[in-house]
Amino acid sequence: MSAVLASEPFLERAPLELRDAVVQLLPAPAQWLGHHLITILAVVLGFSLFFAFTTVAERKLLGRLQNRLGPNRAGVPKFSILPFHLRHKLFGLSQPFADAIKALTKEDIVPAAADKLLHFLAPVVVVAFSLMTFAVLPVGRHLVPVELDAALLYFFAAGCASELALFMAGWSSRNKYSLLAAMRALAQLISYELPLILSVVPIVLVTGTLSTVAIVQSQGVWSFGLLPHWFVFTPWGFAGFIIFLIATLAETNRSPFDLPEAESELVAGHLTEYSGFKYALFFMAEYFGMTALSGLGVTLFLGGWQAPAPFLEFIPSYLWFMGKLVGMLVFFIWIRGTLLRLRIDQLTRLSWQFLVPLALLNVGNAAFWSLTAHWSGPLNLVRWAIALALVVTPFLLLGRTLSAGFAPRTYRYAS
């Protein structure tokens, strides 16, 4: 490991060098412990900070989408010497810390009828499991918290558990809105876990591994030294990525699939009876979940930490990963600022009648792709054409049934 490391540019190995330097300070028997603790600390603190600033980014972006400024009062004192127009842009950066203090100092109200233990456990479980998923995300070339052979299985198992915590929250609150939300959360979990996993199966099929590290490495090839071989640039990979994106929105309860906490119907859904820091924990878990699944999407489809072109490799790999991650999150925020919420029956219908069949066909498509890997020259064009047809045709056919019967209308006027 260290021999490989030594040949890397300094920025690439800087985080590891720092870790090793700290570990060297510890007595030898405790070094393995320090090694792991530092890794855990880096993941927890790093992604917590990332979460904090994602919330600001979300509120700012939503604000801009809605003709307003977003939070701009809680500034960074250090920058107040700057001219006003610059200062203005820096305002709002310490908003998450103000929010955290507010959440911590608020009264924690537990309904008298609630199941106290489950009511307390739900936010803990949801945050714990969503944090666990970060363990297998390769953030950089050498920055993998845990190298697991069954990383994908582990990821989905942990991600699934956090959805169950929503049910715990809804059930234990003894509130009718929360109960309805809990039922919705379960329906959503069952409906969307399937397309989510099915959209990932083609990648496992083609790469032949469940390890996230190996999947990223298999995407580190360029055609003509320019076009990256990310899976999103293959027909089945593109279809898989879109299915993955939609399922991710549903899994993380983001608009337009935010049914469990549908504000206009269920007040705050499963969060109705939560206040103070428990509420903040749920909020945090939602963002952790979104970040983790986006990170997985980046890892599986967008080349992970790989640079888009070889000559851009001087930028450290973890920055590429973060850049792609931020891009995905901005896309999610954009969607939230734009779309309406689906109804629960439409939500499940979208999954079972559209996403699941598409994802299943996509598995076959990927099988075709890997079987024809040796085709070259004009045969390669045929391969692309067949694979594209296998994506576009079912999309058009299935999509037509989804929106059947709905069309803008023309109106008559009284004579």
Partner 1 sequence: MNPSGNSCGSFPAASPFAPVAGPIVRSVTDPFHGDLLEVSMGPQHPSTHGVFRMVATLDGEQIVKLKPVFGYLHRNHEKIAENTSYLASMPYTDRLDYLCSLSTNWAYAFAAEKLLGQPVPDRAQYLRIILAEMTRLVNHSCLVGFLFNDLGTSFTPLLYAFREREKIIDLFESLTGSRMMCNYQRFGGCRVDPTPEWLEAARKLVENFPRFLDEYERMLTGNEIMLARTQGIGRVNAAQAINAGLTGPVLRASGVDYDLRKVDAYGFYGRMDFRVPLGDHGDTYDRYMIRILEMRESVKILAQAFRDLPAGPIMDPKAKQRGHRPKAGEAYGRIEGPKGEIGFHLISDGSPNPYRYRVRPPSLINLTLLEDMCLGHTLADSVVILGSIDIVLGEVDR
Q: Is 170 in the site for partner 1 (CB under 8 A)?
A: no
Q: x/- string (CB under 8 A) for partner 1, residues 227-256?
A: ----------------------------xx
Q: Is 396 in the site for partner 1 (CB under 8 A)?
A: no
Neighbours of 153 (CB within 10 A): 14
Q: Is 411 in the site for partner 1 (CB under 8 A)?
A: yes
Which residue in the set 127, 271, 342, 356 belongs to the binding site for partner 1 (CB under 8 A)? 342
Q: Is 351 in the site for partner 1 (CB under 8 A)?
A: no
Binding segment for partner 1 (CB under 8 A), chosen from 65-73, 155-163, 229-237, 314-322, is 65-73
Measured from the CB atom, the residue of 66 and 80 that comes closer to partner 1 is 66
Shortest separation between residue 267's beta carbon and partner 1, angstroms? 6
Binding segment for partner 1 (CB under 8 A), chosen from 131-139, 156-164, 190-198, 260-268, is 260-268
Query: What whole-number distance in Å separates Cα of residue 209 and Cα of residue 91?
Result: 46
Neighbours of 363 (CB within 10 A): 18
Shortest separation between residue 128's beta carbon and partner 1, angstroms? 28
Q: Is 258 in the site for partner 1 (CB under 8 A)?
A: yes
Q: Is 414 in the site for partner 1 (CB under 8 A)?
A: yes
Shortest separation between residue 295's beta carbon and partner 1, angstroms? 24
Query: What whole-number distance in Å separates Cα of residue 273 and Cα of residue 123?
Result: 12
Measure CA 165 to chain center: 18
Shortest separation between residue 62's beta carbon and partner 1, angstroms? 6
Query: What whole-number distance in Å separates Cα of residue 194 and Cα of residue 360?
Result: 10
Measured from the CB atom, the residue of 87 and 341 that comes closer to partner 1 is 341
Which residue in the set 78, 264, 314, 373 belongs to the binding site for partner 1 (CB under 8 A)? 264
**Interaction with partner 1 in 295-324: which residues (CB under 8 A)?**
none
Rounded to 5 degrees, what angle do the CA atoms 363, 219, 225 make? 130
Measured from the CB atom, the residue of 101 and 339 that comes closer to partner 1 is 339
Please answer whether residues 294 and 304 qualify as being in contact, where contact means their C-beta atoms are separated by less than 8 angstroms: no
Measured from the CB atom, the residue of 231 and 257 that comes closer to partner 1 is 257
Binding segment for partner 1 (CB under 8 A), chosen from 49-57, 73-81, 146-154, 173-181, is 173-181
Please answer whether residues 171 and 268 qualify as being in contact, where contact means their C-beta atoms are separated by less than 8 angstroms: no
Q: Is 68 in the site for partner 1 (CB under 8 A)?
A: yes
Residue 261 DSSP code: G
Q: Is 57 in the site for partner 1 (CB under 8 A)?
A: no
Please answer whether residues 256 and 342 qualify as being in contact, where contact means their C-beta atoms are separated by less than 8 angstroms: yes
At 228 the three-state DSSP class reads strand
- In degrees and rounded to multiples of 5, residue 228 shows phi and psi of -70, 145
Q: Is 340 in the site for partner 1 (CB under 8 A)?
A: yes
DSSP alpha helix (H) spans, 91-175: 95-105, 116-132, 151-172
Please answer whether residues 45 and 34 qualify as being in contact, where contact means their C-beta atoms are separated by less than 8 angstroms: no
CA dihedral 75, 77, 83, 84 (to 10 degrees): 30
Rounded to 5 degrees, what angle do the CA atoms 291, 293, 298 make? 90
Query: Residue numbers of the site for partner 1 (CB under 8 A)?
Result: 62, 65-68, 176-177, 179-180, 255-256, 258, 262-267, 336-346, 403, 405-409, 411-414
